[in-house]
Structure 1
Amino acid sequence: MSLLEERIGFIDSNFLEKLPSERDEQHFRIEILRGFSDGVAWGTRSDGQFVLLDHNGITKSFTGIKAERVSDFSEGVAAVGINSITEDGAVVKLGFVDKDLNWRIPPRFTDCKNFAEGVAAVKIDDAWGFIDRNGKVVIGPRFQSASIFSEGLCEVSISTDKGIKSGFIDHSGNFEIAPKFERLYAHLEKKANLENGELVSDGLEVTMYGRPLIEYLPAFSVFKSGIAPVSVRGRIGFIDHSGKFVIEPKYVYASSFSEGLAIVSNDAKQKFGFIDNKGKVAIPEKFRFVLPFKSGLACGIVGSQITSKFSYFNRDGVKQGAFSSYCSGSFSEGLAPFGLGTLNPPGWNRKEPMSFSM
């Protein structure tokens, strides 16, 4: 199936297709879609440039810049990266734009996370700190990594005499939960079992847009419903705000909670399921890949063949509707993005095609 025979769009809660305009206001074909956040969604044009769509399919394009990277909108702004020429050559610098695609915080960071609770983690040179909505640094750059604030706390990591350890800070930058945990990222890297850049599961390549599916799983810790995943001695469990374990560390992968359920895996064959906030199994580990619950549904793959498609499942793990596709995302604002056609269409621009943030 050629690129021109591919079909993209959104589905509603009844699994009915809601296709956007095939071309934007400059007549470029829109090829890849991300989910809605703050009333807008990113698309990628055939020339590789990003465009912004609203719920009516009306698009906006950047003027005078070529975006290399975008994030979902949060608290009215989105991170955008552009090429910047330095003494070391071209590097991507990130800042934040509003929905009119005007800079609100100029691009000067080497990396950043979305705004949450009024602040965003940003990487300045080689260290992470936090800025406010005006771009002012409110917590100085001193961390090895940083997540997003939730329930007043944010996971960060620092270098200690025992290696890099993660803990949780408050809005003053003070540790509320001491840095004594391992990085969740390390377990994602181990779990991926990458071979030549692709994930192998049961001897089959499992990729989307040329990237291992497991790379799309949430890989950071966020407090939800009073608990957050942390890693010790190669296993992941869940702690409360005091740092006490409420679900013992026994998983090789675990996500933060979303709508009362968390993705977990304790299967050497790389299957995923869900638990509730008491640690009770809600859906057995049967998915080859699955995303967090949004709007009461989880998007995942159950089949054992590489031709298996994404479908949607309820909280009992039962497939909902007949819709399936080779590329799908979570529901947000009543819609979910999809792509019909080959799993890894040749020639597609592979710039972070979808966002599955918590």
Structure 2
Amino acid sequence: MSGAKWWGTLAIATFSMWSVNSSVAWSFSDTSTHWGQACIEQLSQRKLVNGYPNGTFRPNQTVTRAEFAVLMLNAFHNLPRSQRAPTFRDVPTTYWAYRAIQDAAARQLFSGYPDGTFKPTQAIPRVQAIAIATNALNHPAPDQPDAVLRQYFDDAAQVPTYAKRAIATGTLNRLVVNYPQVKQLRPNQAATRGEVAVLLCQALASSQPELGQTVPSQYIAGNQSGFAIPPAAGGFGQFSQGLTVAQKDGRYGYIDTAGKTAIAPRFNVALPFSEGFAAVGAVPDAEGTRWGYIDRQGQWLVEPQFASAKPFSAGLAAVRVGNKVGFIDRTGKLVISPQFDDALPFSEGLAAAQLNQQWGFINPQGQWVIPIQPYGSVAPFSEGLAQVERNNRIGFIDKTGTVVIPLQFAGAQSFAGGLAAVQTAESRWGYIDKSGKLVIPPQFYRAQSFAEGLAGVLIADKWGFINAQGAIAIPAQFYAPQAQAGNGTSVVAEDVAVVSPFSGGLAMARLGNKAGFIDKSGKFAIAPQFADANSFSEGLAYVNLSGRWSTQAPGPEGPYLTQLEGGEWGYIRAPGR
């Protein structure tokens, strides 16, 4: 029995993705020095690949088209059949991989050659393997694939025309791994077992992120700038005071801006740092999670004792004791007794507090400065004014509680830079000054607060930026991603952020399914290559590579939930940092 026949037959019989001998679990005698060792071992532990009876893996041995068809069929067996399987004149029904080749072709994972052959024993070129894996994942393709290839590969000219779009797509989605020279694609060279294993790790990373963490990042094409902090660090969200929350094994801790563990993950919930302290939840007891506060060294400022806790602001933090909310100071002392139904953080010397379904504002001594009123909701003070809402109409009060801008707007945002975005009854957004005068007429479908002199606005179906005079500073050109609905159609993900406010001179901006970062001239300082991205904070931005937007459509009323599925999250550093 030939090696190829043995491999494929057992692969199909055991539904292993790649198998010669299922008795080998992991740890091969010939992979200890191989650059893809970690990936190969992880795949082996999951019984996705196996080695040979003598305990070897043979990572440098080439892979045939038939063998790769078996691998791809099992890796993507959930893909529906989209066509009738063709008949290849060199793949008889008695061939060991006949069924796998037929099924892979029916799922459009593979196609044959113009002469009607499949060439099952031909060593598969790297370009074919990468293109097939890319097409199976159905990532959106870039508009200019040639430009992408030239940007990332010194041998881009060697990529066959038929594969350019797929290879460019795979590159932007971190599927292409080149060892030892990351800019050498070697597209027409036969793929080895080690290379195919690493390709599989990258292809499965969106659903199994830990597999993507096994691949050395310096060899991932399109990742030359690399994650400043890789997904393996476990961080998420924005940095605050040099730290961000990180997760490992279901516990939460903190990492620093170098991606190093600063506070070991030992909490079951954690919030960002503020004023040198962070609210964290300890292991739940019979009454539920108990909250306390730690310092930047992870030492307890306040032992876990509260039913809930909010970040510090102006030296005070809101905590819930039983069913009432009060405030503690930085020593952990309750300086405002628990007496409110809810409360917001202090801002500009006052904190909103709720009692009996009404809102007012208190000072740091807990005294009512603005007595409770029948407001349905309020927002913290910003630039001397605070939003208040009653009967679905929003206005603004000053620090005496006087309504200085009548409750008349259908929507509003807090003041920033002397202006506030407001939504009129006609559902258009404009901007008012602190006297309530509309200084930028309502003309936008959506609008953001000003930040660093610019504000994002939606004009027709695209976003741009205006300046404080209402003039277009960056033309409307950014648009929402396409999300895949359950019925197979694509819909515009209208509930996904298309642009973010400027921070550190950069703003996230989308061109459909890819997000990048623009400067204040509107030029992309970081090319659109991420499935999702957050604003820069302290020189770092949290971004997702290779995720996919999807939406659920319950019926004729259309989609109601858009979410990002899979991909790898990590941090990139701002240019020049």
Interval of TM-score (by shorter of Structure 1 and Structure 2): 0.5 to 0.7
Counterpart in 1 of 2:275? Answer: 75
Distance 1:151 1:265 in 2: 25
> Residue 445 of structure 2 is aligned with which of 286, 303, 317?
286
Counterpart in 2 of 1:310? Answer: 498
Query: Is 2:244 the counterpart of 1:38?
Result: no
Structure 1: 5+ residue runs without aligned partners? Answer: 9-15, 24-28, 185-219, 350-358
CA contact (8 A) 1:309 1:327 kept: no
For residues 257-283 of structure 1, give each alpha carbon's deviation from its aligned partner in whole angstroms, at most 9, with x where no partner exists: 3444445445797x8765544443658
Give the 5 Å matches for 1:192-271.
221-266=379-424
Distance 1:339 1:298 in 2: 24
Give the 5 Å matches for 1:44-59.
44-45=247-248, 47-59=249-261
Distance 1:348 1:82 in 2: 30
> Residue 166 of structure 1 is aligned with which of 347, 359, 363?
359
Counterpart in 2 of 1:122? Answer: 319
> Residue 21 of structure 1 is aligned with which of 214, 220, 229?
229
For residues 274-321 of structure 1, give each alpha carbon's deviation from its aligned partner in whole angstroms, at most 9, with x where no partner exists: 55444436585434x85x555556679844621866334569x99734
> Residue 4 of structure 1 is aligned with which of 187, 205, 217?
205
Counterpart in 1 of 2:294? Answer: 97
TM-score (norm 1): 0.67
Per the TM alignment, residue 133 of structure 1 is displaced from its structure 2 partner at its CA by 0.7
Per the TM alignment, residue 114 of structure 1 is displaced from its structure 2 partner at its CA by 1.2
Distance 1:125 1:345 in 2: 37
Give the 5 Å matches for 1:149-164.
149-159=346-356, 164=357
> What letter matches 2:318 in structure 1?
A
Query: Is 2:538 the counterpart of 1:333?
Result: yes
CA contact (8 A) 1:41 1:52 kept: yes
Counterpart in 2 of 1:211? Answer: none
Distance 1:222 1:265 in 2: 19
Per the TM alignment, residue 118 of structure 1 is displaced from its structure 2 partner at its CA by 1.0
CA contact (8 A) 1:181 1:230 kept: no
> What letter matches 1:253 in structure 2?
G
Per the TM alignment, residue 95 of structure 1 is displaced from its structure 2 partner at its CA by 1.0
Distance 2:234 2:292 in 1: 25
More strand by share: 1
Distance 1:335 1:265 in 2: 33
CA contact (8 A) 2:290 2:308 kept: yes
Distance 1:84 1:39 in 2: 28
The 1:237–1:76 alpha-carbon spacing in structure 2 relative to 1, beyond 3 Å, is same
CA contact (8 A) 2:413 2:421 kept: yes
Per the TM alignment, residue 178 of structure 1 is displaced from its structure 2 partner at its CA by 1.1
The 1:56–1:225 alpha-carbon spacing in structure 2 relative to 1, beyond 3 Å, is same
For residues 222-260 of structure 1, give each alpha carbon's deviation from its aligned partner in whole angstroms, at most 9, with x where no partner exists: 111111111122211111111122222123333333444
CA contact (8 A) 1:310 1:327 kept: no
The 1:295–1:334 alpha-carbon spacing in structure 2 relative to 1, beyond 3 Å, is farther
Per the TM alignment, residue 170 of structure 1 is displaced from its structure 2 partner at its CA by 0.8
The 1:284–1:42 alpha-carbon spacing in structure 2 relative to 1, beyond 3 Å, is farther
CA contact (8 A) 1:309 1:326 kept: no
Per the TM alignment, residue 345 of structure 1 is displaced from its structure 2 partner at its CA by 4.2
CA contact (8 A) 2:205 2:567 kept: no
> What letter matches 2:405 in structure 1?
I
Give the 5 Å matches for 1:266-277.
266=424, 275-277=432-434
**Relative contact order higher in (CA < 8 Å, ≥ 6 apart):** 1
Give the 5 Å matches for 1:125-144.
125-144=322-341
**Partner of 2:381: helix, strand, or coil?**
coil
**Partner of 2:290: helix, strand, or coil?**
strand
Counterpart in 1 of 2:189? Answer: none
Distance 1:171 1:32 in 2: 34
CA contact (8 A) 1:155 1:169 kept: yes
Distance 1:140 1:261 in 2: 36
CA contact (8 A) 1:35 1:41 kept: yes
Distance 2:457 2:250 in 1: 27
> What letter matches 2:355 in structure 1?
I
**Partner of 1:256: helix, strand, or coil?**
coil
Query: Is 2:282 the counterpart of 1:85?
Result: no
How many matched pairs?
288
CA contact (8 A) 1:300 1:310 kept: no
Distance 2:533 2:434 in 1: 27
> What letter matches 1:342 in structure 2?
R
> What letter matches 1:85 in structure 2?
D
Per the TM alignment, residue 93 of structure 1 is displaced from its structure 2 partner at its CA by 1.6
Per the TM alignment, residue 331 of structure 1 is displaced from its structure 2 partner at its CA by 3.7
CA contact (8 A) 1:221 1:255 kept: no
Per the TM alignment, residue 137 of structure 1 is displaced from its structure 2 partner at its CA by 0.5
Per the TM alignment, residue 77 of structure 1 is displaced from its structure 2 partner at its CA by 0.4
Structure 2: 5+ residue runs without aligned partners? Answer: 1-136, 138-202, 214-223, 464-478, 481-491, 510-517, 550-562, 569-577
Distance 1:330 1:298 in 2: 14
Distance 2:332 2:238 in 1: 26
TM-score (norm 2): 0.44
CA contact (8 A) 2:361 2:369 kept: yes
The 1:178–1:35 alpha-carbon spacing in structure 2 relative to 1, beyond 3 Å, is same
Distance 2:341 2:411 in 1: 21
Distance 1:273 1:78 in 2: 37
Counterpart in 2 of 1:342? Answer: 548
The 1:82–1:167 alpha-carbon spacing in structure 2 relative to 1, beyond 3 Å, is same
Per the TM alignment, residue 149 of structure 1 is displaced from its structure 2 partner at its CA by 0.9
Distance 2:345 2:302 in 1: 18
Distance 2:204 2:429 in 1: 31
